[in-house]
Amino acid sequence: MQRNVLITGATGMIGGLVLEHCLAEPTIKQVTSLVRRSSGISHDTLQEIIVPNFMDLSAFQGVLSKIDLVFYCLGTYTGSVSADDMRRTTVDMPAHLAKLLEQAGARPRFCLLSGAGADRREKSRAAFARDKGAIENILTKADFSSFHTFRPSYIYPVTPRQEPNLS
C-alpha cells in the first residue's frame, strides 16, 4: 500500500531526518511538507508547501484529504520564544491541523513529536509540560485512525549547533 505522508517541521533537526527517511521509503507515494522556509530539497515524491501562516491552511484542504500519515515535528525551544508563542506553536497549531484533517475527511495515523515531562494532567509548574500534555490530550480525542506520541528527552544533534538554552 502506497501512503501519502504529511510532515511539519521538515527544516528542523528531527523533521529533517523524518523527511529524509520518508523520501527513501518505497512504500510512500507522496510526501507533503508544510514548512516556514524552503528545505532546498528536490525529490520526485516531495511536495513542499511554504506556509507563512500555519493557522491559515484553508488553501491546502484538498491536499489534506489525501493524507494517510502525519509526522508532526514542528516545534520551538523553551526560552527561545514568549510563553504565548510557545503555546501557539505547541498547542494551537497542531490542534488546528487536526481540525482541518477531520474537516477534510482524512483519518490518518498521527505521530506527534512531544517531549519528556509532558503532563497530561496539565497541572505542571512548567509551561512546556502543560502545553505538551494539553496537545497530547487534544490529539488523543481527534478522529484519527491512530495517535502516537513520542517523548524524547535531550536529543543529541546530528550536526553541531549552538545550544538554544542552558539545559
* pLDDT value of residue 77: 75
**Bridge partners, 149 (sequence order):** 112
pLDDT of residue 162: 66
Cβ burial of 155 (10 Å; 0-12, 13-18, 19+) is exposed
Coil, helix or strand at residue 7? strand
Is the domain 3-150 a CATH 3.40.50.720 member? Answer: yes
DSSP string over 73-114: -----TTTS-HHHHHIIIIIHHHHHHHHHHHTT---EEEEE-
**Would you state the pLDDT for residue 154?**
75
Q: Does the reported pTM lie above 0.85?
A: yes
Phi-psi category of residue 116: left, alpha or beta, with phi > 0 → left and psi -120 to 50 → alpha: beta
Cell of 99: 481540525
Mean pLDDT by 10 residues, the chain (167 residues): 94 94 97 94 96 88 93 86 93 97 96 95 94 98 97 77 57
